[in-house]
Amino acid sequence: MAAYDGTLTDEIYNSLRLGSIAPDFEAETTKGPIKFHEWIGDSWCVLFSHPEDFTPVCTTELGAFAKLEPEFTKRNVKMIGLSANTIESHDAWIDDINEIAQCSLNFPIIGDKTRQIALAYDMIDHQDATNVDSKGIAFTIRSVFIVDPKKVIRLILSYPASTGRNADEVLRCIDSLQTGDKYRITTPINWQKGDDVIVHPGVSNDEAKTLFPEFRIVKPYLRFTPLPKEKIDA
């Protein structure tokens, strides 16, 4: 991969749209060097960034994600963090995270001291020019990218540095995406695994009778159905 020169071009912005291929990169992490696409392999991936090591909100977030890692693993999802600090700094910070959250953080954290990856993924804070480190470089925001096994970006969430994320919501989004891919459905607001789903608009009523025998029509464009038990358990 050619070296990134730090310029935010239209090409880079366009590459971050939903449905596009996640930019590949090589990086040092707390678990050793990786090539991003190769590291993902046949799994799903959650890539999420943090403004800085040894900061309060980031510490609570990483502890929460570490505790939920078994749930992500059950869904064939790999997690990887990013913070604009060195690997040595990350390693010391992980000790704090494990102590404070009473957890064992095992997923890798990328060392991105130069912001090369953060820039390529547009993780930089553009709304607050004062939100910079001691060298005057803009902090990374709290970005979340969900990438599927084909390396396609399926979901992007962006939070300001001041607002902590909801780890359960990231897991819920994974459930929604994976369930939709398998069963030609979409999920309504506040959906949780096991709740009724919406029959995809591309499925006709005749086809829905076979796929979802218990579906019900609320409006011609809104059809709810429970998933058959064997599909919920799959």
Beta carbons of 154 and 18 less than 8 angstroms apart: yes
The torsion angles phi and psi of 33, rounded to 5 degrees, stand at: -70, 145
173 is known as an active-site residue: no
Q: Which CATH number does 184-233 carry?
A: 3.30.1020.10
pLDDT at 231: 53
Residue-wise pLDDT for 176-192, tens only, equals 999 999 999 999 999 99
pLDDT at 144: 96
Is residue 96's pLDDT more than 60?
yes
pLDDT at 137: 60
Residues of the chain with CATH 3.40.30.10: 10-165
Residues in the chain: 234
pLDDT at 70: 97
Beta carbons of 96 and 59 less than 8 angstroms apart: yes
Is residue 101's pLDDT more than 70?
yes
CA–CA gap between residue 191 and residue 176 (Å, rounded): 8
> What average pLDDT is seen over the chain?
88
pLDDT at 220: 95
Superfamily of domain 10-165 in CATH is Glutaredoxin (3.40.30.10)
pLDDT at 141: 80
Q: Helices 56-74 and 87-101 meet at what angle, rounded to 10?
A: 80
Higher pLDDT, 161 or 21: 21
pLDDT at 135: 56
Average pLDDT of 198-206? 97
CA–CA gap between residue 133 and residue 135 (Å, rounded): 5
Average pLDDT of 171-178? 97
CA–CA gap between residue 209 and residue 203 (Å, rounded): 10
Residues of the chain with CATH 3.30.1020.10: 184-233
Other C-beta atoms closer than 10 Å to the C-beta of 160 total 13
Most confident of 46-55, 106-115, 172-181: 172-181
pLDDT at 8: 47
Which residue pairs, CB below 8 angstroms and at least 24 apart, start in 59-63? 59/93, 59/96, 59/97, 59/100, 59/101, 60/100, 60/101, 60/164, 61/142, 61/164, 61/165, 61/167, 62/94, 62/97, 62/101, 62/105, 62/109, 63/97, 63/98, 63/100, 63/101, 63/103, 63/105
Is residue 2's pLDDT more than 60?
no
CA–CA gap between residue 145 and residue 128 (Å, rounded): 22
pLDDT at 221: 96
Residue-wise pLDDT for 38-52, tens only, equals 999 999 999 999 888
The torsion angles phi and psi of 223, rounded to 5 degrees, stand at: -130, 120
CA–CA gap between residue 40 and residue 150 (Å, rounded): 9
Q: Is the pTM of this model over 0.85?
A: yes
**Active-site residue identified among 45, 58, 103, 173:** 58
Residue 127: band (very low, low, confident or very high) from pLDDT cuts 50, 70, 90: low
